[in-house]
Amino acid sequence: MKKRWMICDGCSRTFPFRYDGGICVCGGVLLVQYDLEEIKHSRIRESWRERPATMWRYHELLPVAGTEHIISLGEGGTPLIRLERWEKKLDLDRVWLKREEQNPTGSFKARGFSAALSLLRERGETQVAVNSNGNAASAMAAYAARAGMEAYVFVPRDCPGMILEELVQYGARACLVDGLIHDAGKVVEDGKEEMGWVNVGTAKEPGRVEGKKTMGLELAEQLGWEMPDAVIYPTGGGSGLIGIWKAFTELKELGCVSGDLPRFITVQEVGCTPIVDSIRSGAEKIRPYGATTSRPTGVRVPRPPAGELILSIIRNTGGTAVAVTAEEIAESGKMLGQEGISASPEGSAVWAGLLRLVESGEIGTGERVALFNTAHSLKYLPWKAAATIPEIRSYDEYRALRDVDHAKPEESS
Amino acid sequence: MKKRWMICDGCSRTFPFRYDGGICVCGGVLLVQYDLEEIKHSRIRESWRERPATMWRYHELLPVAGTEHIISLGEGGTPLIRLERWEKKLDLDRVWLKREEQNPTGSFKARGFSAALSLLRERGETQVAVNSNGNAASAMAAYAARAGMEAYVFVPRDCPGMILEELVQYGARACLVDGLIHDAGKVVEDGKEEMGWVNVGTAKEPGRVEGKKTMGLELAEQLGWEMPDAVIYPTGGGSGLIGIWKAFTELKELGCVSGDLPRFITVQEVGCTPIVDSIRSGAEKIRPYGATTSRPTGVRVPRPPAGELILSIIRNTGGTAVAVTAEEIAESGKMLGQEGISASPEGSAVWAGLLRLVESGEIGTGERVALFNTAHSLKYLPWKAAATIPEIRSYDEYRALRDVDHAKPEESS
């Protein structure tokens, strides 16, 4: 049986492992700990490499007690590509992009729900609920379907239409909520006792952070067990960032990587920037963001439940936080599209953040930077391109159009 | 320098390697051959396993002369999952699903264009054109962007809207064509000389079949170097099926797998079934399908250019071909959705085909069947679910709705 317990990142107290409740009485975040001394052995990196390239190759560092409860749809093992043209343009040594959109359900959220629902199957749960800006809801819906559980999902009313399609497709019981993600979270909390739901929301249980941790484990493995100089990640609830940081911390303790942790840099969209505001003002505690005006994406989380841990990760690694505008995000999505990459608004925000930080000198010559594209752009697109694409019947008609230089990317957005 | 040449599958004549022209004077298909004796060594399977899990781990069996020309966006290495619940229901030993939607651009077409455009970079080409039902166009657009080439894509006017979004996003020069895929192909052929295009259409060059071959290489590796009893694949142009067959053939010659090839089973949609009709009638040659009425998906190809090779693969392996209806495809998409899988119409057709063949006894007790989901369902969905999902402001409002059992999958399609 795997040894696992919880530690509070705030007061450092330890507790027995628990499936629910992610916040300590002191307000800190409860994180899973493992007996790393027991896991540690000289060939662990080789053992991982010899297994199939899914996130479960790292099962020693995942909280399920035994592998028989794993709920998998083929998550993790996503590619890491280099953007060589941009390395030259930006005078950086390496720019890597981790393509998290190539997970099941088209986003990194798959990792968290694979781990979380595996834990809940271990415990015999059958009713799961989540509040979400969209991608977490669709991931939970898919994994619940795979696990034979009932999924109840609550998303803001302006959730992108394509994600709503997924919710229906995966058989979730879905509701739109007139409000933001925390309003949807209140519905789950208010209903969980009467409905028998397990709340699988951010910082409500240990599995999601642990699952997302595998992004960091994979990144380290893909970089030949070296750490980059900086990681840029879009932050809403923040459990992706926490997971990647936890991965590097555990790998250091296992002796799999050495040196300093990368600087953790977070990107948010103007109109909902609680982390950026706290970092820039030097606040110890996150202040909930007031009149939220940003668009319905994963980074629109005015009250991140694990906010203080995020602040401490950013500060302790010498990182920073950047707010980018909707226009910069749109422009960045086009730039990545022209590299052949399907970047969600959150992934595009990361790109916009990189450009800002290179401009300001906060990321400098010769650095090695790892970016994450968290979801497919497809999940956010309305159907509108057809109107911009000309129709023809023959090459002769095409020739007549040719000089118009139709469907040029600049003109068709 | 890698030894590579062409062999005609019809008349068995060999030719020097060529970048363009996929059909022999005799009408047969020109396929790339390698010096397998030179590649063969006792640890080749271990060498592959030790490399990153993308399709390029098999570069000895891919046609690029040197790895420096590879255009990669992180293709291949897709998961293979088991559908255990269905194994029991259908009384089959194994039902595997290969999740090709987890490729770049959300479809298996990524593999073909990664190989094809790598070859064309090797040759210094900069202008590429393709006719396509959609997914090939979006894949070519992305890989051309990555390669710094100009992409010209021609798709039927009823091409799904989400795919048109991708074409614009990846910066392709796109045209809708009033007609079917072969009408779009005529535009490319008519224009290629004047425009300097390389035609990267089906059976026009060697890269796409070779890239898709990696689906078969991966399947064999994921099955521990055993072959399944049957492979079910959706067939339009057929180069996916040809690729998987070629993979198994080469692996046998390398001594990596042993035993009989799996039965190759092809699925098409009622309303465009040239392969099914030829198989069922015992015809030697494919007759173009006349009044095409099926929907705009990858299997709507009334005149498959490599039709005779497809027929011979199906017949020589003891396979078959099945036509399924639009209703069966829709129902299958829902069934897969309720397993947590985002299945395109083509992938859903494969599922419908499996159910048919189990029903008819053509696939029987204890068999081991490999299915392919070729693309994300997202690429085919219109936004309509929102209208079926209720909106609430609180848990009290939810409770009032609860007994209505809102958003049940059965009611919301």
Residue appearing with tokens 């296992």: A254
pLDDT of residue B404: 61
**Above 50 in pLDDT, residue A411?**
no
Could you please report the per-residue DSSP string of A63-111?
--SSGGG---SS-----EEE-HHHHHHHT-SEEEEEEGGGSGGGBTHHH
> In chain B, which residues fall in CATH 3.40.50.1100?
81-104+209-380
CA distances in angstroms from A223 to A81, A209, A217, A234, listed in the order given? 11, 22, 10, 21
pLDDT band at A403 (very low <50, low <70, confident <90, very high): low
The reply to whether B400 touches chain A by the CB within 8 Å rule is: no
Spell B100-128 as b/e; 16+ CB within 10 A means b: bbbbbbbbbbbbbbbbbbbbbbbeebebb
Fold of A80-103+208-380: Rossmann fold (3.40.50)
Identify all chain B residues contacting A77, using CB atoms and an 8 Å cutoff.
Answer: 53, 77, 79
For residue B366, how many other CB atoms are within 10 A of its CB?
A: 9
The verdict on A408 touching B (C-beta cutoff 8 Å) is yes
Give residue-wise pLDDT tens across range A48-61. 999 999 999 999 99
State the Cα–Cα distance between residues A244 and A247, nearest whole angstrom: 5
Residues 6 or more apart whose Cβ sits within 8 Å of residue B270: B294, B323, B324, B325, B326
Alpha helix ranges (H) inside A301-360: 307-316, 326-337, 345-360
Residue position matching structure tokens 């006894």: B361
Per residue, what are the HEC states of A265-313? EEEEECCCCHHHHHHHHCCCCCCCCCCCCCCCCCCCCCCCCCHHHHHHH
pLDDT at A232: 98
Chain B environment of A105 (Cβ under 8 Å): 342
- State phi, psi for A249 to the nearest 5 degrees: -65, -45
Q: Is the CB of B393 less than 8 angstroms away from the CB of A53?
A: no
| Nearest residue to B292 (alpha-carbon basis) of B55, B107, B128, B133 | B133
Residue A162 sits at the chain B interface (C-beta within 8 Å):
yes
Between CA A263 and CA A306 the distance in angstroms is 19
Instruction: Give the pLDDT confidence of B214-235 residue by residue, as tens digits.
Output: 999 999 999 999 999 999 999 9
For the cut 80, the answer to whether the pLDDT of residue B303 exceeds it is yes
Residues of B in contact with A165 (CB under 8 A): 378, 381, 383-385
Q: What pLDDT shows up at residue A305? A: 87
Q: Where are the beta strands (DSSP E) in A187-273?
A: 198-199, 230-234, 263-269
Residue A375 has pLDDT above 80, yes or no: yes
Is the per-residue pLDDT at A409 higher than 50?
no
Cα separation, A402 vs A391, in Å, equals: 12
Burial A270-294 (b: 16+ CB within 10 A, else e): ebbbbbbbbbeeeeeebeebeebeb
CB atoms within 10 A of CB B391: 12
A103: nearest CA in chain B?
Answer: B102
Q: Select from A186, A385, A399 the Cβ nearest to the Cβ of B165.
A: A385
Contacts of A50 (CB under 8 A, 6+ apart): B49
Chain A residues inside the 8 Å CB shell of B117: none
pLDDT at B70: 97
B145-201 pLDDT, tens digit per residue, is: 999 999 999 999 999 989 999 999 999 999 999 999 999 999 999 999 999 999 999
Using CB atoms, pick whichever of B75, B78, B168 lies closest to residue A407: B168
Report the C-alpha gap between A56 and A20 in whole angstroms: 22
Is A378 in Cβ contact with B383 (below 8 Å)? no
Tokens of B255: 């001594």
- Judge: B391–A173 Cβ closer than 8 Å, yes or no: no
In this complex, is the C-beta atom of A339 within 8 Å of any C-beta atom belonging to chain B?
yes
Location of structure tokens 């694409």:
A389
Q: What token pair was written down for B46?
A: 């271990």
Tell me the mean pLDDT in the region B248-269: 97
Q: CB-based burial of residue B43 (10 Å sphere; 0-12 exposed, 13-18 middle, 19+ buried)?
A: exposed
Which of A49, A54, A165 shows the shortest C-beta gap to B385?
A165
CATH fold for the domain made of B81-104+209-380: Rossmann fold (3.40.50)
Going through A132-183 in order, the beta strands assigned E by DSSP cover 150-156, 173-177
Which pLDDT belongs to residue A401? 83
- The pLDDT of residue A7: 96
pLDDT in tens, A258-310: 999 999 999 999 999 999 999 999 998 999 999 999 988 999 999 998 899 99
CA distance B193 to B173: 17
**Which two structure tokens, joined as six digits, stand for B89?**
């229901």
Cβ distance A386 to B106 less than 8 Å, yes or no, reads no
Residue B114: per-residue pLDDT? 98
**Chain B: closest CA distance from residue A367 (Å):** 22
Q: Is the pLDDT of residue A405 over 70?
A: no
- State the nearest Cα–Cα gap between B268 and chain A, in angstroms: 23
The reply to whether residue B382 touches residue A377, judged by beta carbons under 8 angstroms, is no
Give the pLDDT confidence score for residue A2 in this predicted structure. 87
Contacts of B104 by beta carbon, 8 Å cutoff, 6+ apart = A79, A99, A102, A340, A341, A342, B73, B74, B75, B110, B139, B142
CB atoms within 10 A of CB A205: 25
Q: What does the alpha-carbon distance between residue A200 and residue A20 come to, in Å, rounded to a whole number?
A: 8
Number of H helices, E strands in chain B: 14, 14
The C-alpha atoms of residue A369 and residue A229 are separated, in whole angstroms, by 6
**Interface predicted TM-score (ipTM) of this complex, two decimals:** 0.94
Two tokens, residue A266: 């977070």
**Alpha-carbon A337 to chain mean position:** 20
Q: Residue A407 pLDDT more than 50?
A: no
- Show the tokens assigned to B21: 């022209």
The sheet with strand B30-34 has its strands ordered as: B14-16, B4-8, B30-34
Q: Residue A370's pLDDT band (boundaries 50, 70, 90)?
A: very high
Query: Can you tell me the mean pLDDT for B16-26?
Result: 92
**Residue A376 pLDDT > 90, yes or no?**
yes
A174 part of contact set with chain B, CB < 8 Å: yes
Summarised one tens digit per residue, pLDDT across range A116-127 is 999 999 999 999
CB contact under 8 A, A145 and B408: no
- Would you call A172 helix, strand, or coil by DSSP? coil
| A404, B189 Cβ separation under 8 angstroms | no
Quick: pLDDT tens for B260-280: 999 999 999 999 999 999 999
Put simply, whether A166 touches B (Cβ < 8 Å) is yes
A233 phi/psi in degrees, rounded to 5: -140, 140
pLDDT of residue B403: 65
Pick from A10-19, A94-103, B204-213, B397-406: least confident: B397-406
Q: In the predicted model, what is the mean pLDDT of residues B252-258?
A: 96
Take residue A353 and report the two structure tokens written for it. Answer: 């953040």
Q: Which of B245, B251, B262 is nearest to B369 (CA)?
A: B262
Q: Give the pLDDT confidence of A158-196 residue by residue, as tens digits.
A: 999 899 999 999 999 999 999 999 999 999 999 999 999
Using DSSP, state whether B33 is helix, strand or coil.
strand
Pair B202, B305: CB distance under 8 Å = yes
User: Do the bridges between strand A14-16 and strand A4-8 make them parallel or antiparallel, or are there none, so unpaired?
Assistant: antiparallel
What residues contact residue B142 under an 8 Å CB cut-off, 6+ apart? A340, A341, A342, B73, B104, B105, B110, B113, B166, B170
Quick one: which H or E segment has residue B269?
strand B263-269
Residue B405 has pLDDT above 90, yes or no: no
Cα separations (Å) of A110 from A61, A77, A211? Answer: 17, 12, 8
**A323-335 residue pLDDT tens:** 999 999 999 999 9
Contact list in A for residue B222 (CB cut-off 8 A) is 52
Residue with tokens 């057929």: B238
Per-residue model confidence (pLDDT) at position A301: 92
Banded model confidence at residue A110, pLDDT cuts 50, 70, 90:
very high
Q: Do the bridges between strand B94-99 and strand B80-82 make them parallel or antiparallel, or are there none, so unpaired?
A: antiparallel
Residue A4 tokens, joined: 């696992």
Q: What is the pLDDT of residues A15-43, one digit of tens each?
A: 999 999 889 999 999 999 999 999 998 89
What local confidence, expressed as pLDDT, does residue B78 receive? 98
